[in-house]
Chains A and B, each alone.
Chain A
Amino acid sequence: MIEAQNLSRRYGDFTAVDGISFSVREGEILGMLGPNGAGKTTTIRMITGFLPPTSGRVTVDGKDLFESPRAARRQVGYLPENVALYGEMRVSEYLAYRARLEGLSRAEARQAIPVALERCLLTGVRDQVIGTLSKGYRQRVGLATAILHNPRVLVLDEPTVGLDPRQIISIRELIRELGRQHTLLLSTHILPEVDLLCDRVVIIDGGRIIAEGTPQSLRESWTGNPSIRVVLKEAPADAGEALGRIPGIVGVAPLEEGAWRLECERGADNPVDPREEVFRAAVANGWTLLELARERGATLEDIFVRLTTHDAAAAETAPQAAGTPLPDEPEVVS
């Protein structure tokens, strides 16, 4: 549905986007991931036709954005990062204005407006003045205008930024719902969102695509050896060394007091599971085993941080800088 070929955008000497190519297939939800300032918004603005690219081209549904801009734009619904609305208008009036702007006839608008209100759960505030609405509602008004003309493609730039957790959940549900009927391009720097919503991901940093694939395939390609977390009660000093001698363990990393991460050998087909051995070793040595759990492989967050970290200092701050509200406990899968 969307084909971006070799898109570049320079602002003076600064190259914001540097030769990005990707495509969004019909019916899929593509997530565009990247730290702040990676070039996501610039890329999105080029795809929606707001910014002309310095070089490269974009087609939407086969229509070139600069040769036939109006036909191409008609197929796109766009929710920008900052949803700017006209504060003095009522919600339904604003939608009527947008419908006219999109070229809908009166009859079409009469049909489309209640549908958009309904789908974005705005029916209750349809007569309210936009200036009095909360941020979450405004975001939904923005979404309602994006779907008003029933475009085949929706482009959403950080749709959940600045919302409270409950609003985030409701907007995400709405996005998932919209994803069933539209092709969706979603930009975000919030990682769980990608895992939850997207069929495919492109990771952008420094204006280039640095990784691309399904969340699953990205995770697999970046996962290192499987590991086990062990916690012992009143462990002797040499316990770590003893753990390292267990067959199947290739590395031992001490964590907090009495806890270790054991890196396991990776078998060709079936990963070795040395938990039994660890248990036996504990019994043999008389350790009290408090915890023994297999750790999940790399999360998208790990991959993201690894890919987008340029130096050691940045490594410390990267997760915060990327604004990832992730639990810092690794998830335990037994």
Chain B
Amino acid sequence: MNGTLATYFRELRAYFFSPLAYIVLFFFLVASGFIFVYIVSQLNDPRVAGGGPPLGYFFQATWLILLLLGPLLTMRLVSEELRSGSIEVLMTAPVTEGQVIAGKFLAALTFYAFLWLPTVAYGLMISAYEKVDWGPVAAGYLGVMLIGSLFLSIGIFASAMTRSQLLAAMTTGALLFVLFLIGIFEGLVNNDVAKKAFNYVGLFNHIEELSNGIVDTRRLVFYLSGTLFFLFLASRALEDKKWR
């Protein structure tokens, strides 16, 4: 517990002291702001058919930015300790690998939540002009937090594998991209079982469901178990560094 808390607060601090975090924050705000404006203008355009809750579309489009920014958030977490050698005093303290990884993950998740915090303003803006159903919006936030946990845990795993931040970011990017592609495969197969399987891991469907207010426990299980799985791998990767 001490190990997790100590690591958590130290990593959270490190985020707010690192220029990279602000660059990520900046790009996220610009991109999400652009997406929001685009969605609203399309929905207001009488020539464009259809309609729907603007925030629903917003979640469905904005999470894609994470494919690019996610790796940047996690690449430093373990790699930097391995590179500088600070891992040595960290792991000779009375803490376990699992505690350290958990602390780092929670710090990353907190910063990630901080990224999304300003987007609450978009909901408030919409609510000034029309009635907003907050249920689906909350479910949408739940969805991006779930996807974020999975992405960050994959990033931490990749970071624990190498002392190079660049390599960690690239590995994470590749893994996230594969995950993203799997969702697309659903439309490419005819086999029913395969369709179901792809649907189960298809991030697109999940975020669509959640942003429409459908909270399916299968999704919760999928993301939470996936996150735990990669965090477990990360702590094993860190432990494995000792044995070689």
Contacts and interface: CB of A to CB of B under 8 A. Distances in A.
Interface of A: 11, 45, 48-52, 69-71, 73-74, 76, 78, 80, 82, 84-86, 88-89, 93, 97-98, 100-103, 142, 145
A101 B95 contact: yes
Nearest to B244: A11
Contacts, number: 69
A11 B244 CA distance: 6
A88 B17 contact: yes
Interface in B48-64: none
B90 A101 contact: yes
Contacts of A52: 242-243
B5 interface: yes
Given A88-B17, A89-B13, A101 B86 contact: no
Contact of A50 (B3, B5, B88, B244): B88
Interface string B1-29: 01101110110011001100000000000
Contacts of A85: 86
B89 interface: yes
23 contacts: A50-B88, A50-B91, A50-B242, A51-B242, A71-B94, A73-B94, A74-B94, A76-B92, A78-B88, A84-B88, A84-B89, A88-B13, A88-B14, A88-B18, A93-B13, A97-B9, A97-B10, A98-B6, A98-B93, A100-B5, A100-B9, A102-B2, A103-B2
Contacts of A82: 85, 88
Interface in B143-177: none
Given A50-B88, A89-B13, A97-B9, 5 more contacts: A48-B92, A71-B94, A78-B89, A101-B94, A103-B2
Nearest to B3: A101
Interface in B62-104: 84-86, 88-95
A73 B13 contact: no
A84 B6 contact: no
Interface of B: 2-3, 5-7, 9-10, 13-14, 17-18, 84-86, 88-95, 242-244
B28 to A, nearest CB: 22
A70 B89 contact: no
A102 B14 contact: no
A101 B99 CA distance: 10
Give the interface SS of chain B, mostly helix, strand, loop or mixed: helix
A49 B95 CA distance: 11
A69 B242 CA distance: 14
Nearest to A47: B92
A101 B103 CA distance: 11
A91 B18 CA distance: 18
A110 to B, nearest CB: 16
Contacts of A11: 244
Contacts of A50: 88, 91-92, 242
Nearest to B1: A103
Contacts of B88: 45, 50, 78, 80, 82, 84
Contacts of B91: 49-50
Nearest to B90: A101
A84 B92 contact: no
Nearest to B86: A84
A73 B86 contact: no
Nearest to B2: A103
A100 B2 contact: yes
A101 B2 contact: yes
A53 to B, nearest CB: 11
Contact of B94 (A45, A51, A102): A102
A88 B80 CA distance: 13
Nearest to B10: A97
B94 to A, nearest CB: 4
A97 B10 CA distance: 7
A309 B213 CA distance: 76
A276 B89 CA distance: 60
A109 to B, nearest CB: 11
A8 to B, nearest CB: 14
Given A86-B14, A88-B17, A97-B6, A102 B84 contact: no
